[in-house]
């Protein structure tokens, strides 16, 4: 059972069906192309998102030592990698399905066209052979009537009392020629008929079945290509999923590795001044005449303020770490200048 032997009389069906099959293949290629575009667009949006939220510039660098801050960047990096996988998916779909099937589609379209052209040519040959047969048959019919007429004329001349022997001979000769001519036409008709039947037999039992069988094989190849296209469509995505899964695993690990205690301790390590809270305020007993002592303290505080304004504040603007070092250094200087640390601490925390 095949198209050649069972659909020999279903030319339109085969023509329409193979066309619709190729249209489906083309439709599928377009579908995959659009899917690849969606994937590309999705990847682009993910990349833009990562770019938007990535840390840039020096300003924000101060806190990057914290695991939870760094982790966000890691999440973004992994998402960016996952977007790259999506781009790869899009490119693979375009290359392995769209480009490949488009090429096959072109070849199949040409192949179908050639097969249908062969059918048309064979049909035209058969039609022209049939026309020749009809012409030959008509000529035989016409010639035979002429021959019959000539025979009847001969009979009439033979029965005519007034007819001469020459008339009879002439009629007989004419009839003989016509019968001979009719016989020749009959032979020609018989030969044309034989030729036509041979061609008709060839057409229905060889040419048509052969072409339709080729179209069936072509259709099977087309179906196989399409079926493989469906498999590639899913396998391409299945191939990138483990990589995306790896990115997701990395994000999970990043989240799980964040140590909140370590992060708050990092702040201590970064900013601990080492200073101790101010000592108790001392009693200034004016009743034993300590006025000069107080004036000395105040003037020491003023000279500390001078150092602080000159060195600490510009440094604070420049670099917090250096500032910290300088602050510690100046704290020591000042602590050596006066035992009273309260004013210093107050000034450091509430400075201009």
Stretch that binds its own copies, among 149-157, 161-169, 278-286, 298-306 (CB under 8 A): 278-286
Cβ of residue 5: shortest distance to its own copies, in angstroms? 9
Nearest to its own copies of 2, 107 (CB atom): 2
Q: Please report, for residues 105, 137, 159, 192, the alpha-carbon distance to residue 183 in angstroms, rounded to integers and kept in the order given.
A: 57, 12, 26, 14
Nearest to its own copies of 158, 245 (CB atom): 245
133 belongs to the binding site for its own copies (CB under 8 A): yes
Q: Looking only at residues 34 through 93 of this chain, which bind its own copies when binding is defined by CB under 8 A?
A: 34-35, 38, 41-42, 45-46, 49, 52-53, 63, 67-69, 71-72, 75, 78-79
Helices (H), the chain: 3-6, 11-53, 67-92, 100-159, 165-202, 208-257, 260-271, 291-307, 313-318, 320-337, 342-350
Nearest to its own copies of 248, 325 (CB atom): 248
311 belongs to the binding site for its own copies (CB under 8 A): no
Cβ of residue 161: shortest distance to its own copies, in angstroms? 30
Nearest to its own copies of 306, 321 (CB atom): 321
Cβ of residue 215: shortest distance to its own copies, in angstroms? 9
Q: What is the dihedral of CA 100, 101, 104, 105, to 10 degrees?
A: -150
94 belongs to the binding site for its own copies (CB under 8 A): no
168/176 Cα distance (integer angstroms): 12
| Of positions 98, 182, 312, 326, contacts its own copies by CB under 8 A | 182
- The owner of tokens 């037999």 is 201
Dihedral over Cα of 34, 36, 37, 38: its sign: positive
49/76 Cα distance (integer angstroms): 8
Task: Identify whether the C-beta of residue 132 lies closer than 8 Å to the C-beta of residue 192.
Answer: yes
- For residue 281 the two structure tokens come to 């305020």
235 belongs to the binding site for its own copies (CB under 8 A): yes
| Of positions 93, 244, 312, 326, contacts its own copies by CB under 8 A | 244
284 belongs to the binding site for its own copies (CB under 8 A): yes
164 belongs to the binding site for its own copies (CB under 8 A): no
252 belongs to the binding site for its own copies (CB under 8 A): yes
Output the DSSP codes for 128-157: HHHHHHHHHHHHHHHHHHHHHHHHHHHHHH
| Of positions 149, 156, 238, 321, contacts its own copies by CB under 8 A | 238
17 belongs to the binding site for its own copies (CB under 8 A): yes
283 belongs to the binding site for its own copies (CB under 8 A): yes
Q: Looking only at residues 186 through 215 of this chain, which bind its own copies when binding is defined by CB under 8 A?
A: 186, 189-190, 193, 196-197, 200-201, 204-205
135/129 Cα distance (integer angstroms): 10
Number of residues lying near its own copies (CB under 8 A): 110
Q: Please report, for residues 97, 115, 239, 243, 300, the alpha-carbon distance to residue 229 in angstroms, rounded to integers and kept in the order given.
A: 6, 25, 15, 22, 87
184 belongs to the binding site for its own copies (CB under 8 A): no
Cβ of residue 94: shortest distance to its own copies, in angstroms? 15
315/331 Cα distance (integer angstroms): 15
| Of positions 113, 224, 296, 310, contacts its own copies by CB under 8 A | 224
Q: Looking only at residues 289 through 308 of this chain, which bind its own copies when binding is defined by CB under 8 A?
A: 291
């Amino acid at each position: 059972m095949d198209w050649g032997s069972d659909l020999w009389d279903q030319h339109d069906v085969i023509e329409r069906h193979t066309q619709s099959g190729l249209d489906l293949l083309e439709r599928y290629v377009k579908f995959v192309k659009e899917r690849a575009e969606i994937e590309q667009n999705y990847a682009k949006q993910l990349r833009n998102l990562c770019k938007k939220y990535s840390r840039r510039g020096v300003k924000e660098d101060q806190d990057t030592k914290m695991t939870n801050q760094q982790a966000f960047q890691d999440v973004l990096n992994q998402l960016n990698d996952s977007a790259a996988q999506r781009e790869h998916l899009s490119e693979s779909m375009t290359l392995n399905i769209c480009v490949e099937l488009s090429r096959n589609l072109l070849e199949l379209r040409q192949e179908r066209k050639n097969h249908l052209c062969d059918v048309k040519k064979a049909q035209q040959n058969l039609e022209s052979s049939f026309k020749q047969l009809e012409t030959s048959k008509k000529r035989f019919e016409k010639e035979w009537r002429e021959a019959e007429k000539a025979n009847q004329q001969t009979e009439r001349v033979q029965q005519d009392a007034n007819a001469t022997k020459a008339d009879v001979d002439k009629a007989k000769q004419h009839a003989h020629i016509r019968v001979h001519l009719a016989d020749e036409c009959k032979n020609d008709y018989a030969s044309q008929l034989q030729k036509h039947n041979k061609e008709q037999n060839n057409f229905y039992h060889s040419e048509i079945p052969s072409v339709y069988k080729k179209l069936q094989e072509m259709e099977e190849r087309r179906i196989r290509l399409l079926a493989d296209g469906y498999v590639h469509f899913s396998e391409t995505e299945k191939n990138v999923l483990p990589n995306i899964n790896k990115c997701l695993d990395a994000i999970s690990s990043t989240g799980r590795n964040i140590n909140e205690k370590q992060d708050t301790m990092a702040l201590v390590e970064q900013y601990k001044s080492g200073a101790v809270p101010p000592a108790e305020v001392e009693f200034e007993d004016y009743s034993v005449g300590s006025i000069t002592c107080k004036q000395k303290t105040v003037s020491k505080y003023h000279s500390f303020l001078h150092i602080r304004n000159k060195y600490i504040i510009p440094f604070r603007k420049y670099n917090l770490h250096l500032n910290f070092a300088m602050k510690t250094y100046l704290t020591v200087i000042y602590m050596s200048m006066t035992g009273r640390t309260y004013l210093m601490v107050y000034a450091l925390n509430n400075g201009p």
